[in-house]
Structure 1
Amino acid sequence: MAGKRSGKNRSGRGPRKELERPTSTGVPSLPQGAGEQKATSKAFLLAITTGIVVAVASALVLAAGPEIVDSDAKKDQVRDTFRNDPELRYTVEPMDERLQLVLPAGFVLSDKQQRMIPSHELFASGELRAAGAATVDVLTLRVTLEGRRNQDIFVDSVAPVVVERQAPFSGTLFYAPSQGAGTVTKMMFNLDERQPRARIVENYEEGDGETARIFAGLTDGAKPGALFFRENTLTIKDAQEDALLIQSVATEQAVSFNIKIDYRIGGKKKALIIDDEGFPFRVSPLNCVTKGSGMGEAGAGSLGVAAYEDVWQLRDDFSGMERVADPQRFEAFRSC
């Protein structure tokens, strides 16, 4: 009779257990729900890490300042590093022939220099500037400013910086007043002021007063008005030029000065000093010993008298200059 099968297998061992099937990675699978918990933990850690990185990066940007955010500022940093280029480039051009000049007392021209006067060669040589010559009464300049940065440049002030004040020069005078209307300007320096600043140019009107009348007689009817930068703004962009036509007028003393331009770029205040090719600009009134009646209707008025060591005057036919016989009593209508 066949006996009953026991729970043992043929090998005599107990019942066979189902083995856990390996995963595709060879690692036993986790209990149900454990995978979701692990994924959630990873996402949580990733979110915290990302937040920390963003916070640190933001702090670094804020610490570095606005320049790191401003692309123009970053481009300018590169230009500063690889180019020897000023932020603000300038050129200066006299708007007259600079034939009306006066030398300080005591300067004696050499024979060679005197021979260069009639043909105007001496004025082009630069020797008079080196000797300290001043323009008589009014100096008119075109100052051209060019931006050399990606960021805008904001000009806040243009003003003469006085180097020296002296009595009117009384050495050698070269007298060749401007013929006809002068250049129309929009900015004027009144060098008689204690601290001169740029002023707008206004037209003279009867009743404006003695000072305005004197200025009008020297500038073809113009006078200094309100402060220029109180009513005007000046923004200079990259590779663009702005020309300033400036009249500098002195009626009391000889004044030596440079021109200072205050400007801002990227929130920083800076300054540029402009001179006359290594020398200060100089303006001197005539050395008047007798005042005339000045400007009147149709140019009428009595002549004033100025005194100098030597005087050279433009010939009537404008062909050159000739020496004046009595430099101690030189009649000069426009200034005296």
Structure 2
Amino acid sequence: MTGGTSTDPAGTGDSSSKNGIGGNAAQVVQARDITGPVYVGRPRARPRWWLIGGLAAVILLAGTGAAVWLQPSGPAELRVTADLSANDAGPWGYASEDPGFPGPELAARLARPGADRDSQLAHDVRVAGGAGLLHQVIRLHLEGPRTGQVVVTDIRAVIRKRLPPLSGTLVWSPPQGAEDSAETLLELDDRFPVLQSAVRDATGNRNFPAGPYFPAHTIKLVDGETKEVIVTASAAKGAYDFDLAVFSEAGKEIKQTTVDDAGKPFRVTGFPCSARGQASYRTVYFAQADTTVSRQPDPEHFDGVGEC
């Protein structure tokens, strides 16, 4: 570390007429007209009552009475938030291990005309604990530090729970056409799920993985820049509770930021297939021609499931 210029070359020990800087060389202070010693980090000799680590230093500017508090310079921080509202726009489907899901109040709303395209109703069913049927769209909003730079290097699934497909209740307003476009795919049925780039098939109706998204892509965020990554997490053979781990680099430090659904894990499930084209539940609410989502009389033999 480069020290201050002494105004006491004779070494008289008069601290009122010299500048001295001591401490960690990783931290540097630049100043003019400072009277008295300046310590950054752990000083060589301090009274025992001084709380080391609480504050890095206090610099008293002579003649002004102003105080500058030096905080240890930490790594640039990455902020990540998850938005699941795209799942509420319809078509939509949710399943639960609870045959009483989603409860009397939501069941009454499902029976009203227009329920199959009611985005608020879909939101409320999801918030009540439903797992996304077959897939869940997660919009990750990445925000860099106000000053400095971070580089997002990977996004991975952290599986918290793996179960057979949920067979308590199905609430489903199925799609009528092609799949929505996707930026990235996360196949949770894979032994080691890896975020993949997405491409359309020749018919334009389905999305397929086209190789790992990272490290081919680089997400660099400088001085508060933002970026959105749309992740479509899918499951067909099981049910999954999972978080997303976002890895980033700031200088030489690598950090992991864990993202979930407002304190709860993301949830996706496949169909509990019981025969070809058939699934078995204890309760099924299914979209009807009159736009209601009505309870089905024979949920244990729910037909017309192309995924089975």
Calculate the TM-score normalised by the size of structure 2: 0.68
Cα distance change, pair 109–269 in 1 and its aligned pair in 2 (3 A): closer
Q: Which of 87, 96, 106 is the matching residue for 2:78?
A: 87
Q: Tell me which residue corresponds to 2:26.
A: 64
Does 2:282 align with 1:309?
A: yes
Are the equivalent residues in 2 in contact too, given 1:93–1:143 (CA < 8 A)? Answer: no
Tell me, yes or no, if the aligned pair for 1:146 and 1:238 is still in contact at 8 Å. Answer: no
**Distance (Å, rounded) in 2 between the aligned partners of 1:68 and 1:290:** 73
Specify the alignment match of 2:110 in structure 1: 117
Contact 2:279-2:305 at 8 Å conserved across structures: no
Is 1:234 the equivalent of 2:219? Answer: yes
The alpha carbon displacement at 1:334 in A equals 3.7
* Cα contact 1:134–1:282 (8 A) shared by 2: yes
State how far apart, in whole Å, the 2-side matches of 1:260 and 1:310 are: 34
Q: Residues 124 and 190 from structure 1, CA distance in 2 versus in 1: closer, same or farther, beyond 3 angstroms?
A: closer
Aligned residue pairs: how many?
Answer: 243
Q: Distance in 1 between matches of 2:101 and 2:93?
A: 17
Change (3 A) 1:189 1:311: same
Q: 1:272 aligns with which of 233, 254, 257?
A: 257
Q: 1:276 to 1:68 in 2, by over 3 A?
A: farther
Worse overlay, 267-276 or 108-117: 108-117
Matched residue of 1:116: which SS? helix
Q: Could you tell me which amino acid in structure 1 is paired with residue 147 of structure 2?
A: N
* 2:110 alignment partner, SS class: coil
Give the helix-richer structure, 1 or 2.
1
> Given residue 141 of structure 2, which amino acid in structure 1 is its aligned partner?
T
Q: Which residue of 1 aligns with 2:94?
A: 101
Going by fraction, where is strand more abundant, 1 or 2? 2
Task: Assess if the C-alpha contact under 8 Å between 1:199 and 1:224 holds in 2.
Answer: yes
Distance in 1 separating the partners of 2:222 and 2:175: 35
Structure 2 residue ranges without an equivalent (≥5): 1-8, 10-19, 31-68
Q: Is 1:243 matched up with 2:228?
A: yes
How much does 1:81 deviate?
Answer: 8.0
Q: Check if 1:192 corresponds to 2:189.
A: yes
Superposed, 1:162-177 pairs within 5 Å as 162-177=159-174
Looking at structure 1, the residues matched to 215 and 78 of structure 2 have their Cα atoms a distance apart, in angstroms, of 24
- The answer to whether the 8 A contact 1:289-1:306 is kept is yes
Name the SS for the 2:247 alignment partner: strand
Counterpart amino acid of residue 298 in structure 2: D
**Contact 2:82 2:138 (8 Å CA) reproduced:** no
2:268 to 283, 288, 300: 283
Corresponding position of 1:203? 200
Residues 152 and 246, structure 2, Cα contact 8 Å, conserved in 1: yes
- In structure 2, what is the Cα distance between the partners aligned to 1:194 and 1:138? 17
Distance in 1 separating the partners of 2:221 and 2:151: 6
Amino acid corresponding to residue 293 of structure 2 in structure 1: M
- Mapped to 2, the partners of 1:234 and 1:80 lie a distance apart of 29
Q: Post-superposition shift, 1:183?
A: 3.3
Q: How much has 1:89 moved relative to structure 2?
A: 4.2
> What one-letter code is carried by the residue in structure 1 that aligns with 2:243?
N
Per-residue deviation, 1:288: 1.1
Structure-2 separation of matches of 1:80 and 1:289: 62
Secondary structure of 2:215's aligned partner:
helix
1:124 counterpart SS class:
helix
How far does residue 91 in structure 1 lie from its aligned partner after superposition?
A: 4.0
Compute the RMSD of aligned alpha carbons.
3.3
Instruction: State whether residues 89 and 148 of structure 1, in contact with CA within 8 Å, keep that contact through their aligned partners in structure 2.
Output: no
Choose 99-108 or 149-158, whichever is displaced more: 99-108
The residue that corresponds to 1:138 in the other structure is 135
Q: Tell which structure's C-alpha radius of gyration is larger.
A: 1
Cα gap change, 1:146 to 1:181, in 2 (>3 Å)? farther
Secondary structure at 2:214 match in 1: helix
| 1:231 counterpart SS class | coil
What one-letter code is carried by the residue in structure 2 that aligns with 1:321?
A: V
Distance in 1, Cα, partners of 2:138 & 2:216: 21
